[in-house]
Amino acid sequence: MKRAVFPGSFDPITLGHVDIIERGLKIFDEIIIAIGINAEKKYMWSLEDRKKTIEAIFEGNKKIKVKTYEGLTSEFCKKEEANCILRGVRNTSDFTYEQTIAQANAEVNGVDSFFLISSPKFSYVSSSIVRDLARNGGDYSLLVPKDVTN
């Protein structure tokens, strides 16, 4: 079975994330959406809300699992018997940042990374833009699945 981990904080999950996950299902038999926990980070949505929302979005899809984790993503991959990390990249800055991490994960832990380039219609969408809109009373409904705005 080809199992991949799609890690992130998903604060909140966006349509860009959903697009990468759905396209990733054409490559992998199973994708674990791994919500990372970083005690030093201040989140806008609670961990419970993020997990429930993602589970609702993919409800009924047996190829998707939603889990939380702390620590290194590559260690989580080993624990879950996944030898691949799936990442979405929107631009060259994303790629440059992800490339170094991917090379370290491969060298140190034997976990390969697969990059999917974002679909053009989602290339500007990020969780930080959604948080900024939400914080300032803006309409972010076109950037996230409907479950996020409920």
- Tally of residues, the chain: 150
Determine if residue 128 is labeled as part of a ligand binding site.
Answer: yes
Determine if residue 10 is labeled as part of a ligand binding site.
Answer: yes
Determine if residue 148 is labeled as part of a ligand binding site.
Answer: no
For residue 41, indicate whether it is catalytic.
Answer: yes
Q: 42 is written with which tokens?
A: 């201040």
Catalytic-role residue among 17, 74, 113, 118: 17
For residue 79, indicate whether it is catalytic.
Answer: no
For residue 17, indicate whether it is catalytic.
Answer: yes
Q: 40 is written with which tokens?
A: 């030093």
Determine if residue 123 is labeled as part of a ligand binding site.
Answer: yes
Distance CA 48, CA 24 (A): 25
Distance CA 42, CA 63 (A): 30
Determine if residue 73 is labeled as part of a ligand binding site.
Answer: yes
Tell me the binding residues.
9-10, 17, 41, 73, 87-90, 98, 122-128
User: Which residues are tagged catalytic?
Assistant: 17, 41, 90, 127
Tell me the binding residues for substrate.
9, 41, 73, 87
